[in-house]
Amino acid sequence: MYKKIIVCLALDHGISETALAKAKLLLDDGGEIIALHVHELPSGTTNAYVTDDIVERERANAEKRLLERVQGIPSAKAVLINGHTGRSIAQYAKEQNADCIILGSHKPGLSDFFLGSTAARIVQQAHCSVVVLR
């Protein structure tokens, strides 16, 4: 069905296995799964309290956890990028010419009503099909 699927993995949420399983079902023979995690850098006042060593340590930890998630899936590769989650995922998918993005979403709350959720931003900005899992 799809040749290149971006699976968005939030490493602190439990939807990763479900998202990867769905990607395997939707993938064409010979297709590629890109397990993507966006490492958000500290900003604003938080930036004043976080050292470069802490940022690098957290990035290395995220990379290790991401590689563990795709271990044993031959068609998958792990990619870790820096940026703002919503914008970065849609932009990366376009750059990679992906034809599907799979991501998890939580039940929307009051803050999502005012600010919008990451999943909603990706659906709005993506150039390709988006599968949202709950």
Output the pLDDT for position 134.
Answer: 80
Structure tokens at 98: 């992906």
**pLDDT category of residue 112 using cuts at 50, 70 and 90:** low
Residue 116 has pLDDT above 60, yes or no: no
What's the average model confidence in pLDDT over 89-113?
A: 83
Output the pLDDT for position 80.
Answer: 96
Residue that wins the pLDDT comparison between 55 and 92: 92
- Which residue's entry shows tokens 């993995």? 9
CA angle 127, 8, 73 (to 5 degrees): 115
Spatial contact of 1 and 24, defined as CB atoms under 8 Å apart: no
Structure tokens at 51: 């050292």
> Roughly how many angstroms between the first and final C-alpha of the chain, as a whole number?
21
- Domain chopping of the chain, boundaries: 2-122
Q: What's the whole-number average pLDDT of the chain?
A: 87
Domain 2-122 of CATH type 3.40.50.620: yes
CA pair distance 18, 104, nearest whole angstrom: 9
**pLDDT category of residue 114 using cuts at 50, 70 and 90:** very low
